[in-house]
């Protein structure tokens, strides 16, 4: 079962993702950690930990993750806004397979918002994060690869 209690912290250590974080943290909170680590490595490590925690795992288990992602896909694919997000993500990889698009939403650049959307859906709350995810997808997909590397 998907863990709705996980708080994604990795985007707070990535200067490209921080503006999209749902809650802004005090600079002093981050400074303590950023001064001690390479922020890219720390952010990547935290993403992996957050991802595994979301599936109640301590180590990578492809079978469990695929089963849970498929279950979530079945739950969300009929919701028009989620379906459109999946379609856009799949198209970005020249695919029409919505499952491909759905899986891409769990990648580093999108997981922190997708996780919140999944949690809101599972808790049967208003989907307040979904418009943020939609806008972020639009922005990310409209950038050229060389623009992303520069920023």
pLDDT tens-digit readout, 17-71: 878 876 655 555 555 555 556 677 778 888 998 999 999 998 899 999 999 999 9
Among the residue ranges 18-27, 79-88, 112-121, 133-142, the one predicted with the least confidence is 18-27
Rounded to two decimals, the pTM is 0.78
Nearest CA among 134, 8, 141, 11 for reference residue 80: 134
* Sequence spans of domains, the chain: 10-150
Residue predicted with more confidence, 72 or 27: 72
Quote the pLDDT of residue 147: 56
């Amino acid at each position: 079962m998907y863990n709705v209690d996980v708080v994604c912290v990795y985007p707070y250590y990535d200067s490209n993702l921080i503006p999209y974080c749902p809650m802004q943290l005090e600079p002093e909170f981050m400074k303590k950690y950023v001064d001690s680590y390479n922020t890219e490595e720390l952010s990547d490590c935290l993403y992996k930990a957050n991802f595994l925690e979301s599936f109640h795992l301590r180590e990578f288990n492809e079978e469990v993750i695929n089963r849970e992602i498929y279950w979530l896909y079945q739950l969300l694919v009929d919701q028009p806004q989620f379906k459109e997000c999946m379609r856009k993500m799949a198209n970005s990889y020249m695919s029409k397979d919505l499952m491909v698009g759905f899986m891409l939403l769990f990648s580093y650049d999108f997981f922190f918002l997708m996780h919140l959307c999944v949690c809101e859906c599972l808790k049967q709350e208003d989907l307040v994060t979904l418009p943020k995810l939609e806008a972020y997808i639009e922005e990310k997909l409209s950038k050229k690869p060389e623009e992303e590397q520069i920023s």
